[in-house]
Structure 1
Amino acid sequence: MSPSTRQADRNLIDRYQDFRTRRFLKHERTYANSLPRWRTQRRRRMLVVVMAATLAVMLCVSVVCAFGFRQAALIWLPATLIFFPTFLVLQIVSGRQGDAPQGVLDEYEIQQRNSARSIGLTVTQNLMLVPILYLIVLSVNMRTADADAVRDMAYAGGLMALAVLLIGGCLPVMILGWSRPDPDA
């Protein structure tokens, strides 16, 4: 790779990081005073518990669907309707520290964010083995299965994978929302 190509790549990455930082700061200004009563550690922990419960429901629904109970998938919708607003509120009240660009955080916040992200990645990698093994084992054993059984297996595997990705993706903000102290008055 020539030096000019490396310089162009570095500049592209730097420009992207600058863009992320500007966008983050703009959103931070927009939402800095939103939901002041929800910014306490107690309320953030309550949001984390609600998120954990909805993620657990999603995971349970995917497992129940794996046993052929198609109607269980109907429970996914209310869990989703609770999950997304809760996730958005938790992001706002925790200052979006879980996905903040490095340029807006101090060293301690970067260390906390990176630690939470590392935990999220580790959990995602380990939990993702469950739907992968489920799909591999069942696909090998379903040589003579009917089309409905194959669709049920694929649907349940997809729900499992989606639930695991949501868990791993939300874990950093959940950890930071749970562990950060109350903001200064």
Structure 2
Amino acid sequence: MTAATGPSTLLDRYQAYRVRRWLAREKQLAGMLPGWRTRRRRRALVITVAAALTVLFVTGVLCAFGLEWAALFAGLSALIFLPTWTMLRIVSQAQDNAPAETLDELEIAQRETARSIGLTVTQTLCVFPMMYLVWSGAIFPEADAFRTAYAGGVMVLATLLAGGCSPAMILAWSKADPESEN
């Protein structure tokens, strides 16, 4: 019998598939939004994403105080967040999620630092809405689901998204302007 020439384990095959998929996606997105790839525009996108997530969190806080009309802001926040986040991922080349084989040593170090910060942000921010959910249920068991479950859920969603998005936001913020091809 001859030895197989390709990746041998399931993880190796998945990683090879992930690299192929990422390279194809990179090629597909390479020419998109060229005017948005400058540092100034990327930073504007980062600020917009952060503002949308802040509005989402504040929506949860307002709903916790029983302001039902505030739930409309969650939809508004999503309408701003989704396209802005998509644009940010395109113009920053999704470096935060790139397979290691597609990055150089400096990019890997930057990505890992940003991911570490993202985990810290997630863990730190999620404590507050989780405490709200636990304590509001224990102290005010008669409170309605809107004031506890919906409000707490929106706050948790905002903090999880903030932590999950922060590596890409950090990398997009700190990345230098692309070199001109002239």
How do 1:24-103 residues align onto structure 2 when only pairs under 5 Å count? 24-103=22-101
1:139 to 2:172 alignment: no
1:135-180 CA deviation, whole Å, 9 max, x = no partner?
111111124x15xx24421111111110011101110111011000
1:159 to 2:154 alignment: yes
Let me know the Cα RMSD of the aligned residues: 1.1
Deviation at 1:43, TM superposition (A): 0.6
Task: Tell me, in whole angstroms, the C-alpha distance in 2 between the residues paired with 1:142 and 1:76.
Answer: 24
Deviation at 1:129, TM superposition (A): 0.7
SS at match of 1:76: helix
Task: Tell me, in whole angstroms, the C-alpha distance in 1 between the residues paired with 2:150 and 2:54.
Answer: 18
1:7-63 CA deviation, whole Å, 9 max, x = no partner?
xxx711111111111110000000111111111101101111111111110111111
SS at match of 1:45: helix
**Which of 164, 179, 182 is equivalent to 1:184?**
179
Q: Which has the higher helix share?
A: 1
**Which of 12, 24, 31 is equivalent to 2:10?**
12
- Between the two proteins, the alignment pairs up a number of residues equal to 173
Counterpart amino acid of residue 98 in structure 1:
D
Give the aligned partner of residue 4 of structure 2: none
Give the aligned partner of residue 4 of structure 1: none
SS at match of 1:181: coil
Counterpart amino acid of residue 80 in structure 1:
A
- Is contact 2:63–2:146 with CA below 8 Å preserved after alignment? no
Please list every run of 5 or more consecutive structure 1 residues that lacks an aligned counterpart in the other structure. Answer: 1-9
SS at match of 2:13: helix
Give the aligned partner of residue 164 of structure 2: 169
Task: Tell me, in whole angstroms, the C-alpha distance in 2 between the residues paired with 1:89 and 1:137.
Answer: 38
**Which of 118, 121, 127 is equivalent to 2:119?**
121
Q: State the identity %.
A: 51
Task: Tell me, in whole angstroms, the C-alpha distance in 2 between the residues paired with 1:34 and 1:151.
Answer: 41
SS at match of 2:117: helix
Please list every run of 5 or more consecutive structure 2 residues that lacks an aligned counterpart in the other structure. Answer: 1-7
- Is contact 1:48–1:90 with CA below 8 Å preserved after alignment? yes
Q: TM-score, normalised by structure 1?
A: 0.90
- Is contact 2:136–2:148 with CA below 8 Å preserved after alignment? yes
Deviation at 1:131, TM superposition (A): 1.2
- Is contact 2:118–2:166 with CA below 8 Å preserved after alignment? yes
